Amino acid sequence: MQAEILCIYELQLMKKYIKLFDFKQKVDYKIEILSGLTVALALVPEAMAFALIAGLSPLTGLYAAFVMAFVTSIFGGRPGMISGATGAIAVVVVTLAKDYGVEYVFAAVVLSGIIQFLAGALKLGKLMRLVPHPVIFGFVNGLAVIIFMSQLEQFKDADGNWLSGTNLYILLALVLTTMLIIWGLPKLTRAVPASLVSILVIFAITYFLGIDTKTVGDISSISGGFPPFHIPAIPINWETFMVILPYAGIMAGVGLIESLLTLNIVDEITETRGKSNKEAMAQGAANLLSGFFSGMGGCAMIGQSLINVSNGARARLSGIIASSALLAFVMFGAPVIELLPMAALTGLMIMVSIGTFEWASFKTIKRMPKSDVLVMVLVTLVTVFLHNLALAVLVGVIIAALVFAWDNAKRIRARKSIDENGVKHYEIYGPLFFGSTALFNDKFDVANDPDEIVIDFYESRVVDMSAIEALNKITERYQKVDKKVHLKHLSPDCRRLLQNADEIIDVNIIEDPTYKVLANE
């Protein structure tokens, strides 16, 4: 009776929040519901596997998947995107769980949620604009390879040996049949998600023909109750805080990077625009609640998100259905779900990896600058071999920034001319910043220049403190030989930068007697 009341209450909440938070678009309820059920089935084995990787109970992963998916589906900035327990988070918490226990994991998840929520509240989600497209290409391709490689474990027996003989042929046949249905059914009809049909067909084949193959139940039991509210049982002191802080910080960073990159990918597929800061706050709230409801935490899942959007789901309802169905599986449907063949879910995830990979990146390699190709390949390799998505993105962004700085450092030019009054003009082209100051200094001939010179920044910009120091040095060199320097056409932001640095660096002469300073008019 209590379970029935709980389900009715959840449905009422779902209807309420769908009206309040869904985007203003027509919702295909049939597609949303069926896609949500498909995603729920795909969430089960991954959530269990990631929990086991972290050395935790499978229910810890399932509870995290439910809370993450439910909260972010309602409050997140990207309808249709699915969150849950992920491998990236599992890799971070494995050491914490081993050395200190599960209670410290829950505390770290709560703290990471607070950090993520603050990041969203401070509108730091816009920093994702700094991630170049080659980095996203490399991240997506690496993630596709990881998804594919993770499915190879299904082709091993309990002792870790590769399957052979009849068992291998049966598994291959089931996996290929799943892939064939997912590939071919949309060409005939899109009335129902092909991925859900494939799972049901493979389940029917194995059940009615009595085929002996690995099932979800062979991994572990998923039977459980509603996620219990639980305050982490840890000492409340500074030492404990310093133990969990590094893990919480890494979890928050990894989770935000993976979530916001997934948001960008779904944006491109659906040709709509999500809200990164809102998503960051939703991820934070979800992780905070996950830690209090016995979950291991998580972030956006690109595989399940792509399953969802490829099925045609575009609204929040699919994610709410997926999370609610997952909870129903745990509370009521465990005996049935545990009979699902892993071959069907393996075939589904392989098709996801194929769909995730940016095959177009091969076509553009010859057209892309070599530096962009290097960044894309490097990010892919770091993602695949280190399984550290945050590090991969960080490496890619740093290399791309260095390449950009190097390219711009070489672009600074100076056109020289002497007017009828004998004044020498240096017309500077390109940004003046730390990378271009050396070339900038080489442009001037202090000894042989006339008594008065003009440095014109109409086509340039003073960017940083290194640029100010370069201006200071060049004016000092001219002053030592009693020559006068005029700085012309400094934009308002450049002038402000020079004025702000006036107490630190002595910028000698700033004049603009002839021309108006470049303004916003």
pLDDT of res. 19: 42
Q: What is the pLDDT of residue 218?
A: 84
pLDDT score at 426: 93
- What are the tens digits of pLDDT across the range 367-397? 888 888 888 999 889 888 877 667 788 888 8
Tokens 């005939």 belong to 188
Cα(167)–Cα(157) distance, rounded to whole angstroms?
Answer: 10
Give Cα separations from 54 to 58, 158, 227 (angstroms). Answer: 10, 19, 19
Residue 75 CB coordination number (10 Å): 18
Residue 21's pLDDT is 40
d(CA 131, CA 281): 20
The pLDDT value recorded for residue 303 is 82
Q: What is the DSSP string of 145-214?
A: HHHHHHHGGGGB-TTSPBP-HHHHHHHHHHHHHHHHHHHHHHHH--SS-HHHHHHHHHHHHHHHTT----
Alpha-helical runs (H) found in 293-418: 302-310, 317-328, 334-337, 342-356, 360-364, 370-386, 389-409
Contact assessment for residue 65 and residue 31, using Cβ atoms and an 8 Å cutoff: no
Span 110-124, pLDDT tens digits: 999 999 999 999 998
pLDDT at residue 511, rounded to an integer:
53
Q: Residue 334 in 3-state DSSP?
A: helix
* 116 vs 104: CA distance, rounded Å: 18
User: Residue 257: what pLDDT?
Assistant: 85
CB 395 within 8 A of CB 365: no
Q: Nearest 10 degrees: CA dihedral of 163, 165, 170, 173?
A: 90
Identify the burial level of 56 via C-beta atoms within 10 angstroms of its C-beta, where 0-12 means exposed, 13-18 middle and 19 or more buried: buried
> Which stretches of the chain drop beneath a pLDDT of 70?
1-25, 388-389, 499-521
Q: Residue 489 CB: number of other CB atoms within 10 A?
A: 20
What's the pLDDT at 502? 57
Q: Provide the whole-model pTM.
A: 0.71
Q: Mapping DSSP to helix (H, G, I), strand (E, B) and coil, where does residue 215 land?
A: strand
Burial 30-39 (b: 16+ CB within 10 A, else e): ebbbbbbbbb
CA atoms of 415 and 457, how far apart (whole Å): 11
Phi/psi of residue 204, nearest 5 degrees: -65, -40
The structural domains of the chain, ordered by start, are 2-17+28-156+234-356 (no CATH), 410-500 (3.30.750.24)
The 3-class secondary structure across 263-324, one letter per residue, is HHHHHHHHCCCCCHHHHHHHHHHHHHHHHHCCCCCCEECHHHHHHHHHCCCCCCHHHHHHHH
- For 316, the token pair is 């929040």
Q: Residue 173 is which amino acid?
A: A
- For residues 87 and 150, give the distance between their C-alpha atoms in angstroms, rounded to a whole number: 10
H/E stretch holding 83 = strand 83-84
Residue 13 confidence (pLDDT): 42
Going by C-alpha positions, the residue among 247, 246, 257, 300 that lies closest to residue 395 is: 257
Max alpha carbon distance in the chain (Å)? 99
